[in-house]
Amino acid sequence: MIYQDSKTLLTVRKLHATVNGIEILKGMDLTIKSGEVHAIMGPNGSGKSTFSKVLAGHPSYEVSGGEVEFEGRNLLDLKPEERARAGVFLGFQYPIEIPGVANSQFLRLAYNTVQTERGKDELDPLEFDDFVREKMKLLEMNPDFLDRSVNEGFSGGEKKRNEILQMALLEPRLAILDETDSGLDIDALRIVAGGVNQLANKDNAIVLVTHYQRLLNYIVPDYVHVMESGRIVKTGGKELALELEARGYDWVGAEVKANARVNA
Amino acid sequence: MSTTLQNLVNQPYQHGFVSDIESDVAPKGLSEDTIRLISAKKNEPEWLLELRLKAYQQWLKMEEPQWPNVHYPKIDFQAISYYSAPKPKKTLASMDEVDPELLRTFEKLGVPMNERAKLAGVAVDVIFDSVSVATTYKAKLAEVGIIFCSISEAVRDHPDLVRKYLGSVVPVGDNYYAALNSAVFTDGSFCFIPKGVKCPMDLSTYFRINTENSGQFERTLIIAEEGASVSYLEGCTAPKFDTNQLHAAVVELVALDNADIKYSTVQNWYAGDENGLGGIYNFVTKRGLCKGVNSRISWTQVETGSAITWKYPSCVLRGDNSVGEFYSVALTNHYQQADTGTKMIHLGKNTRSTIVSKGISAGHSNNSYRGLVRIAPTAAGARNYSQCDSMLIGEQCGANTFPYIQVNNPSAKVEHEASTSKIGEDQLFYFAQRGIGAEEAVSMIINGFCKDVFQQLPMEFAVEATKLLGLKLEGSVG
Ligand SMILES: Nc1ncnc2c1ncn2[C@@H]1O[C@H](COP(=O)(O)OP(=O)(O)OP(=O)(O)O)[C@@H](O)[C@H]1O
Ligand SMILES: [Mg+2]
């Protein structure tokens, strides 16, 4: 939701990033204020996941230009774990499996690390167990997932739910959810979206990377951005997503080209 | 490979220092005279000198084994000093009499043994260089008839027992290093649990190599009589040296009917520096004989040190229904080489064995599992389950698995599973994205990987082992 007196959370200016020497992000600009919900859409390969991972500090991607400010700090100076502790959360498009590490143990360590950063008390295993089970209820997740290895053998949808569980535990300031809706069945989509809505408040912000309008029916975006070839080429309100759903992306590209000609 | 992962596995050795205790060092070199000197210094009976000389004669005819997947320059056995002992003023009756410098050494190693001994109820037979200097809890153990002392004392006080069992599991000419050990061993531990006695506490020995260029030839003999049981802990650390040190120990275990021996090791000898310079050569022969029916021998090892490890704790399952177990974590980093595993020799009926091996390789290291499961024609109904998992950290290390399976009885059942995994950048990034730094992430993944082995260790040892792996892999993450 757009609030009058909200503070700027994230400012991305002319961000360029490369992977293996190939430039993927070619001048991203984006400003996000607290309380807002942004949707980023765009064709496959346009750089949405890359942008998400660059914000989170993935070591494979090199920032070759531009700046990113998060709550007044230079985000690019921070290590990935410091960004996470500062409140940047990335819900992965493809959450990785970690065999041998119990989900409960992993979740507790993540939770306690972030709590400590915020000057709050850690929870011991018993306290955490109660706490996490409450959060799981919210997402209608079976507590059996606590005893399993992190994401190992989870179905696509189960992995996504586990991501949102982590978001619920860590209460980030900025949550970037990369295609959290893909792989979810109809009921799961509603449940997960409900969970995200409960977590949204005027102090945090959510970025939804998605291909489909159906998620945006549940989580209504304040802004919809279209990415193409590594930059945002169009920004609109929630109705832009409906238009994209109806017309596809081609017309956006054509429009961009036409504008470019006018400006040249 | 990111620099983070590189740094992570480059933790300097924290136990590298030489303590200043007067040593009584024999001149370098090996000959019959050296052996006579050792035997004389120790006032040994004639039969033992003969055993040593016989071993030496066999050793002279043997070749250093070439089959392990390890590489090192030829050892000059004449450049080694075969006897070195701190000069004990007298036999020590209590901890208070132990050289304070020695106690400080243990302190530095994080082994406050007097505390530990009391708090954890562990009897510590401390081996410093090659001679035992302190034994605690002896009296308490003696009450139930348990003998726990240095092998030299055992030779003196219980010669018949030693004579009966020494070399009965590992014959003097068993292999190159065992023969060498049999010829020149200086000290080690002896443990005898009489019929029907369950040892009331874990027995523990800390080995430590202190004098530069002094070969270490420990000899351990553990006997559990009918219905007896014991849990034995062996822990090792060594100071930092630039010249390689040879260590060739022999450990023999004998379990009679219904007896149970659990032998746990945490090994953290100096592994050489990050360029592969220095470090211990650890060429060890460990073997247990399940002599009686329903007996059980269980080896658990956490191997993190040494430049080269060559070690196959084995079980000979002679008694019907006897059980052999091998649980192992072997971690190599930098230029360490490990060729380790086990042998399970099934002779008796319905004998069972379990092998769980976890190899972790980092840096430029090479880590091989080598295991033999042999089912003899007599071993009807024998069963074996083996699981060998390897984990690679980084791109330059190697892992190999060499399972040898020989089944000569059609009613036997042998299962073997193996896997290789890698700690990838994306896994570490996932942890980082949840606020967890690389060190903690690696330690969590490794501990998860080693869980099946760690849960076999006695409590305090499991904690120590977890810390040790952390220490070996964590470091200056930048
Ligand atoms: N490690 C890499 N090596 C080479 N190319 C890469 C790498 N990572 C990303 N790319 C390329 O960068 C481009 C953007 O990828 P990205 O995953 O960001 O797209 P996306 O917008 O998230 O697509 P999708 O909608 O399919 O998820 C793609 O062309 C992709 O192949
Ligand atoms: Mg994507």
Instruction: Work out the average pLDDT over B330-338.
Output: 87
Return the residue matching tokens 């400006």: A263
How far is the centre of ligand 2, averaged over its atoms, from the C-alpha of A227 (Å)?
A: 11
CATH code of residue A233 = 3.40.50.300
Interface residue A2 vs chain B (CB under 8 A): no
CB B319 within 8 A of CB B345: no
DSSP B107-128: HHTT--HHHHHHHHT-EEEEEE
B214 has pLDDT over 50: no
Q: What is the mean pLDDT of chain B?
A: 81
Please indicate whether residue A19, judged by its CB atom, sits closer than 6 Å to ligand 1.
yes
Any bridge partners for residue B264, and if so which? B233, B300
CB B474 within 8 A of CB B443: yes
pLDDT interval class at B352 (50, 70, 90): very high
Q: Return the percentage of chain B with pLDDT > 90, whole number.
A: 45
Instruction: Work out the average pLDDT over B40-59.
Output: 94
Other Cβ atoms within 10 Å of B171 Cβ, number = 13
Ligand lying nearest the CA atom of residue A40: 1
Ligand 1 atom at minimum distance from A60 CA: 1
Other Cβ atoms within 10 Å of B12 Cβ, number = 11
Please indicate whether residue A18, judged by its CB atom, sits closer than 6 Å to ligand 1.
no
Total domains in chain A come to 1
Structural domain includes residue A124 = no
Which pLDDT value is given to residue B116?
Answer: 39
Any bridge partners for residue B283, and if so which? B310
pTM, rounded to two decimals: 0.79
Ligand 1 atom at minimum distance from A93 CA: 27
Which pLDDT value is given to residue B42?
Answer: 85
Structure-token pair, residue B322: 């006897």
A10 has pLDDT over 90: yes
What's the gap in Å between the CA of A15 and the closest CA on chain B? 20
Instruction: Work out the average pLDDT over A203-211.
Output: 95
pLDDT tens digits for range B96-143: 655 565 555 455 445 544 443 433 334 455 544 434 434 446 667 888
Ligand lying nearest the CA atom of residue A17: 1
pLDDT interval class at B68 (50, 70, 90): confident
Range of the domain at A30: 8-96+172-263
Structural domain includes residue A160 = no
Which pLDDT value is given to residue B5?
Answer: 44
Interface residue A92 vs chain B (CB under 8 A): yes
B222 has pLDDT over 60: yes
Interface contact A59-B2, CB threshold 8 A: yes
Q: A131: Cβ–Cβ under 8 A, 6 or more apart, which residues? A: A111, A123, A169
Of chain A, the end-to-end C-alpha distance in Å amounts to 36
Of the candidates A225, A229, A218, which has an alpha carbon nearest to the alpha carbon of residue A196? A218
Structural domain includes residue A86 = yes
Residue of A46 and B93 predicted with greater confidence: A46
pLDDT tens digits for range B167-209: 999 999 999 999 999 999 987 889 999 999 999 878 876 543 4
Q: Of A60, A110, A149, which has the smallest distance from its Cβ to B435's Cβ?
A: A110
Interface contact A117-B435, CB threshold 8 A: yes
Cα distance between residue B226 and residue B86, in whole Å: 37
Structural domain includes residue A112 = no
Structural domain includes residue A246 = yes
pLDDT interval class at B346 (50, 70, 90): very high
Ligand 1 atom at minimum distance from A43 CA: 25
Interface contact A84-B445, CB threshold 8 A: no
Which pLDDT value is given to residue B7?
Answer: 47
Structural domain includes residue A181 = yes
Structural domain includes residue A101 = no
Cα distance between residue B434 and residue B336, in whole Å: 33
Interface contact B434-A59, CB threshold 8 A: no
Cα distance between residue A115 and residue B86, in whole Å: 52
B94 has pLDDT over 80: no
Structural domain includes residue A141 = no
Instruction: Work out the average pLDDT over B218-239.
Output: 84
A62 has pLDDT over 60: yes
Q: ipTM of the predicted structure?
A: 0.96
Cα distance between residue A67 and residue B38, in whole Å: 73
Cα distance between residue A73 and residue A60, in whole Å: 22
Of the candidates B477, B392, B471, which has an alpha carbon nearest to the alpha carbon of residue B12? B471
Cα distance between residue B103 and residue B342, in whole Å: 35
A169 has pLDDT over 70: yes
Interface contact A84-B433, CB threshold 8 A: yes
pLDDT interval class at B210 (50, 70, 90): very low
Residue nearest to atom 26 of ligand 1 (CA): A44
Interface residue A118 vs chain B (CB under 8 A): no
Instruction: Work out the average pLDDT over B277-291.
Output: 91
